[in-house]
Amino acid sequence: VRLFLPILVTWLGLSSFPSFRPESLPNEITAIPALLELLDLTGAIVTIDAMGTQTEIVKQIRHKKADYIVSLKANHPTLHSQVKEWFDTRRGNNFEGINVSYNQQIEKGHHRTEKRYVWAVPLEAFGGLYQQDQWSGLQTIVIIERIRHLWNKTTHEVQFYLTSLPADAQLLGRAIRQHWTIENQVHWTIEVTFHEDKCRIRSGHSPRNFAILRRMALNALNQEKTLQRSLRQKIKQACMNNDYMMTVLNSFCQA
């Protein structure tokens, strides 16, 4: 069993670590190494979005006896363009002569259908990538194509990932999916429902305290199952109805 550890960095989320001082770090590139240093990563699979796709960060992950899956986007333009061109060319001839691991998934829900196609390509198949030796332990390039059919439109995207894991499309696709599941259930919810990124609280222990309170509130609202409404509607109901507020608190205490 491998632990999937998504690094979804927000200032207030990181501040829940007692020894972490978010006000002393200017951005995610400096915040992520500080967070990794606090964690026992042995045996974990660490997934990070494009901002954290840095050679020193993946070197730190490998040094702590963990594996990584990091998103490759345009902030590494040469490498990104090289991988994209390779994929566009090889896919045209159905990856002929290349040992590619492939997995396909189809999910339906929330009035949409999503198709995910995952290719895991061993590094040797590329015949040498731009500064590939700087990416500690790099073994595989992952390509994921997502096609979402909504009620009023269809979206299409292709994303690339670097990983220290072997070319196993099913495992890698599951780890990447887990990353975005947590992103959607926690970070996106905290931002959209509680407007955390817009919060101007910065001084003293206030950011840490409010981060904890927001997450406690999110857990409490998720535990309460009697009112089948959105989180925003449940928050309004708790504000206007003391009985419902006590129901939410009781659900949280019994969890």
pLDDT digits (tens, 9 = 90+) for 61-105: 999 999 999 999 998 999 999 999 999 999 988 899 899 999 998
For residue 221, the model assigns a pLDDT of: 85
Alpha carbon separation from 216 to 169, 245, 248 (Å, rounded): 36, 14, 11
**What average pLDDT does range 26-51 have in this prediction?**
84
- Mean local confidence (pLDDT), 19-36: 66
**Does residue 15 have a pLDDT over 50?**
no
pLDDT for 147: 93
- In this prediction, residue 13 has a pLDDT band, given cuts at 50, 70 and 90, of very low
pLDDT above 70: residue 10: no
Measuring CA to CA, how many Å separate 205 from each of 20, 48, 190, 211, 230? 11, 27, 19, 10, 30
Categorize the per-residue pLDDT at 186 as very low, low, confident or very high, splitting at 50, 70 and 90: low
pLDDT in tens, 116-166: 999 999 999 999 999 999 999 999 999 999 998 988 889 999 999 999 999
Kindly state the percentage of the chain with pLDDT values over 90. Answer: 40
In the predicted structure, residue 176 carries a pLDDT above the cut 60: yes
**Which of 19-33, 34-48, 174-188 has the least mean pLDDT?**
19-33
| Structure confidence at residue 232 as a pLDDT band (50, 70, 90) | confident
Least confident of 23-37, 120-134, 183-197: 183-197
> CA-based diameter of the chain, in Å?
67
Helices marked H in the chain — which ranges? Answer: 11-14, 28-38, 55-63, 77-92, 169-182, 188-194, 206-223, 231-240, 242-254
Q: For residues 202 and 101, which has the higher predicted lDDT (pLDDT)?
A: 101
| Model pLDDT, residue 143 | 96
Q: Find, among 172, 170, 207, 180, the residue nearest to 10 by Cα.
A: 207
Residue 178: φ, ψ to 5° = -60, -40
Do 165 and 4 meet the contact criterion of CB atoms below 8 Å apart? no
pLDDT given for residue 180 in this prediction: 65
